[in-house]
């Protein structure tokens, strides 16, 4: 049995089991400990014994037995764990509460991400550490600290009220989006064996769409992730080098996935008429994905969408992306003018310097272009981006 | 206002159970001795439970942790009814626990 299959089964059940144990025990940290233990047992035994017919019941039984063991040894857990005497897990899907607890704004972003991966997706500390290239002890400490804070600071285990929801949902979507970005940008050949965070991000977004069907931004984020993934095969060439959008072989794009994601986005946008940053970003990616060739890109439409995105969520990075749309609608001179005020806020942003370089090159200012590319090269740690920039500098 | 230092927190942590018991008893005695002047007192949970809300931006910003990350943190406070600062200082001098006490009038 492949590790991928195991990971998928675990992810399908880990969050559900944690959610029902938190409900049962009223103790987040204790529930999480039991689930991690059950998952470790599963990962040890399933490769040899096969996945049981009802993995949820199997995991619950292991967690329950483990809980009863602890109960015998530790008296302070007694009252809570005694509730495990009831043999059946709660039936309802409580994972939404779990997600909102893990992404509570009183936890740091790094803690939110680690906790969500571990508690909702069932990743081990080792897997999380490997995915983010940080020491295992750092992740373990982050999780322990977050669990303590949840218990001691009184972070509630519930879905936020209607009035809190927009902000709180924003936190959850930001965590999933960061997870996606981390996985997407670092998906180079060297890390092919690392846990596919993109997969986890898509799974989480899909879970949220199912649990919160009335929130169009969840569908927007899911569509955004799927639209990016649909073009994944064309992002790297045979040697594992990054291929820019303009040079990608669009025959490699998954047309069916693009159509489905676009439909998901359109449906959500029409049904709710509440545009948000994720829906607009997905619409921009859809515009690119629908163009038969780079020359067919509807830049005018993309520019309108970027204006909308800036109105919804102003940020210098969005203004940088908008400048690229300006390049193709009004020319490099106009785009360069757009970059003028971005130099200060994006001084340490590799993409700013790389974009600056290509605009300067378009205008024949080669020496300045070289310097901007060199600056971009200094600032990126991503091997695929480094290779692309080095190549550009060599050809120049 | 009672202010803990990292050093103090570490020493308390390292104490044996009996020693800790004695330290808590000293605090209890201090409160009992000055009960006629103390109108109210509160002990705050450790700083790892802190969450800070900043309201000076366009949107309220919530962060994990105390508003200043530092080696010294407010761990509790007591309201005392005294004639003047000197009397408050006398009280503070006899405080048997954490190493910093800040005195401020309240209204």
Cross-chain residue pair B50–A153, CB shorter than 8 Å: yes
Q: What is the mean pLDDT of residues A116-125?
A: 92
- In this structure, the answer to whether residues A86 and A126 fall within a common structural domain is no
Where does a domain end: A310, A330, A348? A310
Residue of B51, B52, B54, B57 to mutate for A, most A C-beta atoms under 10 A: B51
Q: Is residue A121 part of a domain?
A: yes
- In this structure, the answer to whether residues A175 and A101 fall within a common structural domain is yes
CATH number of the domain bearing residue A364 = 1.25.40.10
Where does a domain end: A63, A92, A121? A92
Contact predicate A115/A38, CB 8 Å: no
Q: Chain A residues with CB-CB distance to B under 8 A? A: 105-108, 111, 145, 148-149, 152-153
Q: Is residue A203 part of a domain?
A: no
Residue in B49, B62, B63 nearest the CB of A149: B49
Given a cut of 80, whether residue B2 has pLDDT beyond it is yes
Contact predicate A285/A224, CB 8 Å: yes
- In this structure, the answer to whether residues A327 and A342 fall within a common structural domain is yes
Q: Quote the minimal CA–CA distance from B1 to chain A in Å.
A: 21
pLDDT of residue A63: 93
- In this structure, the answer to whether residues A238 and A155 fall within a common structural domain is no
Q: Quote the minimal CA–CA distance from A1 to chain B in Å.
A: 41
- Please give the residue of chain A at the shortest CA–CA distance from B51: A106
- Please give the residue of chain A at the shortest CA–CA distance from B52: A106
Q: Could you list the residue range(s) of the whole structural domain that residue A243 is in? A: 213-310
Residue in A105, A111, A149 nearest the CB of B62: A105
Q: Is residue A29 part of a domain?
A: yes
Cross-chain residue pair A105–B50, CB shorter than 8 Å: no
Q: Is residue A200 part of a domain?
A: no
Give tens-digit pLDDT for A38-95.
999 999 999 999 999 999 999 999 999 998 888 777 766 666 666 666 656 555 578 8
Report ipTM (2 d.p.).
0.71
Q: Quote the minimal CA–CA distance from A141 to chain B in Å.
A: 13
Whole-angstrom distance, CA of residue A179 vs CA of residue A166:
20
- In this structure, the answer to whether residues A285 and A345 fall within a common structural domain is no
The residue assigned the tokens 């370089």 is A357
Question: Measured between CB atoms, does B51 come within 8 Å of chain A?
Answer: yes
Give tens-digit pLDDT for A224-266.
999 999 998 898 888 878 898 999 999 999 999 999 999 999 9
Given a cut of 90, whether residue A172 has pLDDT beyond it is yes
Q: What is the mean pLDDT of residues A303-321?
A: 96
Contact predicate A117/A124, CB 8 Å: no
- In this structure, the answer to whether residues A80 and A109 fall within a common structural domain is no
Whole-angstrom distance, CA of residue A269 vs CA of residue A75:
53
pLDDT of residue A131: 82
Cross-chain residue pair B45–A145, CB shorter than 8 Å: no
Q: Is residue A75 part of a domain?
A: yes
Q: Is residue A64 part of a domain?
A: yes
- In this structure, the answer to whether residues A304 and A218 fall within a common structural domain is yes
Chain A environment of B62 (Cβ under 8 Å): 105-106
Whole-angstrom distance, CA of residue A153 vs CA of residue B43:
14
Percent of chain A with pLDDT over 90: 68
- In this structure, the answer to whether residues A108 and A35 fall within a common structural domain is no
pLDDT of residue A88: 60
Q: What is the mean pLDDT of residues B21-36?
A: 94
Number of domains observed in the structure of chain A: 4
Backbone angle region of B102, left / alpha / beta, with phi > 0 → left and psi within -120 to 50 → alpha = beta
- Please give the residue of chain B at the shortest CA–CA distance from A112: B64
pLDDT band at A183 (very low <50, low <70, confident <90, very high): confident
pLDDT of residue A89: 56
Write the DSSP symbol of residue A234: G
Cross-chain residue pair B62–A111, CB shorter than 8 Å: no
Give tens-digit pLDDT for A267-297.
999 999 999 999 999 999 999 999 999 999 9
Q: Quote the minimal CA–CA distance from B50 to chain A in Å.
A: 7
């Amino acid at each position: 049995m492949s590790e991928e299959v195991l990971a998928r089964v675990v992810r399908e059940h880990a969050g559900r089991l944690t959610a029902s144990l938190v409900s049962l025990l009223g103790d987040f940290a204790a529930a999480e400990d039991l689930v991690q233990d059950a998952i470790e047992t599963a990962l040890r035994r399933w490769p040899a014994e096969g996945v049981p017919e009802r993995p949820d019941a199997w995991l619950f039984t292991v967690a329950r037995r483990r809980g009863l063991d602890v109960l015998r040894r530790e008296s302070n857990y007694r009252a809570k764990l005694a509730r495990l005497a009831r043999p059946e897990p709660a039936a309802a899907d409580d994972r939404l509460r779990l997600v909102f607890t893990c992404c509570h704004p009183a936890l740091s972003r790094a803690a939110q991400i680690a906790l969500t991966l571990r508690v909702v997706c069932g990743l081990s500390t080792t897997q999380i550490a490997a995915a983010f290239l940080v020491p295992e002890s750092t992740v373990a400490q982050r999780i322990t600290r977050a669990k303590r804070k949840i218990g001691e600071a009184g972070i509630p285990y519930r879905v936020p009220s209607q009035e809190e929801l927009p902000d709180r949902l924003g936190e959850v979507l930001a965590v999933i989006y960061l997870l996606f970005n981390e996985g997407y940008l670092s998906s180079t050949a060297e890390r092919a064996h690392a846990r596919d965070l993109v997969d986890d991000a898509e799974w989480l977004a899909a879970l949220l769409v199912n649990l919160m069907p009335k929130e169009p931004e969840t569908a927007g984020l899911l569509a955004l992730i799927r639209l990016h993934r649909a073009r994944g095969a064309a992002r790297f060439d045979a040697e594992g080098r990054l291929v820019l959008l303009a040079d990608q072989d669009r025959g490699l794009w998954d047309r069916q996935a693009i159509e489905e994601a676009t439909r998901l986005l359109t449906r959500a946008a029409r049904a709710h008429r509440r545009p948000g940053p994720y829906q607009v970003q997905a619409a921009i990616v859809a515009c690119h994905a629908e163009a038969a060739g780079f020359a067919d890109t509807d830049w005018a439409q993309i520019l309108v969408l970027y204006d909308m995105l800036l109105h919804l969520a102003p940020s210098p990075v969005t203004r940088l992306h908008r400048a690229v749309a300006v390049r193709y609608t009004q020319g490099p001179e106009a785009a360069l003018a757009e970059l003028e005020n971005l130099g200060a806020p994006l001084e340490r942003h590799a993409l700013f310097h790389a974009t600056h370089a290509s605009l300067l090159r378009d205008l024949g200012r080669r020496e300045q272009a070289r310097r901007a590319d060199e600056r971009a090269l200094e600032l990126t740690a991503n091997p695929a981006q480094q290779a692309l920039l080095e190549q550009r500098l060599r050809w120049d | 206002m009672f202010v803990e230092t990292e050093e103090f927190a570490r020493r308390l942590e390292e104490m044996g159970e009996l020693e800790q018991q004695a330290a808590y008893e000293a605090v209890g005695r201090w409160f009992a001795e000055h009960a006629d002047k103390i109108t109210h007192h509160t002990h705050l949970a450790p700083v790892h439970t802190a969450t800070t809300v900043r309201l000076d931006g366009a949107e309220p910003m919530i962060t994990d942790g105390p508003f200043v990350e530092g080696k010294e943190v407010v761990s509790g406070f007591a309201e005392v009814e005294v004639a003047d600062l000197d009397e408050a200082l006398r009280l503070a001098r006899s405080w048997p626990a954490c190493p910093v006490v800040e005195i401020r009038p309240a209204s």
